[in-house]
Chains A and B, each alone.
Chain A
Amino acid sequence: MYVNGVTLKNRGIPDSHRLSVYESTGGYQALRKIFSEQVTPEQVIAEMKTSALRGRGGAGFPTGLKWSFMPKGVSGTKYLLCNADEGEPGTCKDRDIMRYEPHRLIEGMIIGAYAMGARAGYIFIRGEFIEPIRRVEAALEEAYAAGFLGERILGQDFSFDLYVYRGAGAYICGEETALMEALEGKKGQPRFKPPFPASYGLYGRPTTINNVETFASVPDIIVHGGQWFLELGKANNGGTKIFSVTGHVQRPGNYEVPMGTPFPELLEMAGGLRPGRSLKAVIPGGTSTAMLAGDTMMDCTMDYDSIAKAGSALGAGSVIVIDDSVCIVRVVERIARFYMHESCGQCTPCREGMGWLWRVMHRIENGQGRAQDIELLLNVGSRIEGRTICALADGGVAPVVSSIKLFREEYEHHIRHGQCLVGQRRAA
């Protein structure tokens, strides 16, 4: 199996974040190939389309298609942004790419800038990620010194400047238009779409934004070809993908495996469950995706289509494993708190609704649930979904509604008896 083969290939090599190590393992060969073989921007985009690479930030939008949306022949600056505002509970992969493979990200962005004609770019890294920020900033310095960035890159008629932008603490900035607002020095509140970033993005200019892992996949696609990448995975789900396996497993970690890998294999890589425990539920793509029953998950393969068919989403590949030691109501109450805290406050259904969901979850968990509370949660949820500018609120509703579907008896037990059906009762 092709484990840790593309974006975290060098993770185990000492000083893998340095330019010399990256170059000694084939780094910047994709960029050199583009220039030496006179590959056109259109050919780069065609290769990306062939690869079937889909956005690794969570939405899974085909990257080649997104790149083709950038307008051609416009005057003025076009921008390329990298979303490194990693913060969805369960997601911890971009941090490792930036710590261990910052040049792979940078090379991917330079190639993207070449393909789309972007003149400047920013890597938006969440403010708490000091170590990744320092690694990426040091790598940018090295790349400038080596002539991979700046004016006339490698002597070609192509210039691109790239900078780090540090966030200041707000999950919502991972939403692409909120990120642009933050970059403009404002509160990170999402914009209405349309217009989409390709026509009206940063400073109102044509802009493309991709996730860290997406960009880091680009160099190998250019070197080996889109077909090679596609065949690592399966049709419509090209390549390998990092899965962050966390929660109740013995070896939590980032596992980069081919798309379509059976979930039981991934679970085994992560050390399996703790002794004597059974698999209760899995959140397959970060907390904004619906919870699936353990049995359902054991029949899934890890790709967009299989997880969607099972009723959830692959998201950012953030697999949260939950065993039978814990009460689902407790888990979901904690997840609901996150969305209440992170709602940006712009849309009323989200601002009020996320707090409402948490308060009802909280009273159920604390033994004060009322008979009608399950219906209330479902009702409130249904009045939030689809009524907000961005997807944060839908993401906050998903764990509540999906967990009620799967574990209604735990909710009912809580309400009737004022305590958990399983696991330890919360300390007063």
Chain B
Amino acid sequence: MLSDQALAAIAAERRKYPADQARSALLAALRIAQEEHGWLPTELIEEVAQVLEIPSIQAFEVATFYTMYDLKPVGKHKLCVCGSVSCFLNGSDDILAHLQKRLGIGIGETTADGLFTLQEVECLGACKDAPVLHLGDQYLERLTPEGIDALIEQLRGGSSDVR
């Protein structure tokens, strides 16, 4: 399932570590696989293990331990709203409620068109910019319901650069 490009990226990660420590590249290899495929089905995790020449159980342990790996399909845009204390004190519950209403889905669910997945996550480390949302390679900060509406419109319109 992995493309030549992904295999090359994994090989580049391996070179960061001593030759006998291929396992160190595992977290990166799973990320590269997920970025290419959208999520991590069982066969893909097994393939990553084969590429790194490690037992597949080691790859499964890691894939199920860390929260950034998706073991089920997710929407094109995964909206991860921080609900930890500084965001909570600044209205993250209202942001989450607004998103649920707006998208017509609950937390952890994906819209029928496959465009959006909504998640509540723990601290994103951007507490001074609360409330915060993690979307792809961006953080969106100091969220308001109006800003959320504009964001959803932009994403529906096909733009993913929403800063």
Question: Chain A interface (Cβ within 8 Å of chain B)?
Answer: 77, 86-92, 94-95, 122, 126-131, 163, 165-171, 182-188, 203, 244-248, 252-254, 283, 287, 318, 320, 322, 326, 331, 334-335, 337-338, 341-342, 344, 427
The 10 A-B residue pairs with the shortest CB-CB distance, nearest first, are: A185-B23, A169-B67, A168-B66, A169-B68, A185-B26, A246-B86, A130-B137, A89-B84, A246-B127, A187-B65
Other than the given A166-B27, A344-B65, 11 more pairs (CB < 8 A) read A87-B124, A88-B123, A90-B123, A131-B137, A165-B24, A168-B68, A170-B67, A245-B128, A246-B127, A322-B89, A341-B122
Contact yes or no, A92 B129, CB < 8 A: yes
Shortest Cβ distance from A254 into B: residue: B128
Contact yes or no, A185 B127, CB < 8 A: no
Contact yes or no, A338 B65, CB < 8 A: no
CA distance A246 to B130 in the complex (A): 8
Selected A-B contacts with CB under 8 Å, 28 pairs:
A87-B122, A88-B123, A90-B86, A91-B127, A127-B66, A167-B27, A168-B62, A169-B68, A170-B67, A171-B123, A182-B27, A184-B23, A185-B27, A186-B62, A187-B61, A187-B65, A203-B18, A244-B128, A248-B89, A252-B86, A252-B128, A254-B128, A320-B89, A331-B88, A334-B84, A337-B122, A338-B122, A342-B122
Evaluate whether A168 and B122 lie within 8 angstroms (CB atoms) in the complex, with A90-B127, A320-B85 already known.
no
Contact yes or no, B83 A188, CB < 8 A: no
Shortest Cβ distance from B84 into A: residue: A89
Contact yes or no, A247 B24, CB < 8 A: no
What residues of B have a CB within 8 angstroms of the CB of A165 in the complex? 16, 24, 27-28
A316 CB, nearest partner CB in chain B, Å: 11
Contact yes or no, B31 A326, CB < 8 A: no
Our count of residue pairs bridging A and B at CB distance below 8 angstroms stands at 148
What is the size category of the interface that chain B forms with chain A?
35 or more
Contact yes or no, A183 B127, CB < 8 A: no
- Does B125 lie at the interface of the complex (its beta carbon under 8 Å from any beta carbon of A)? yes
Shortest Cβ distance from B22 into A: residue: A185
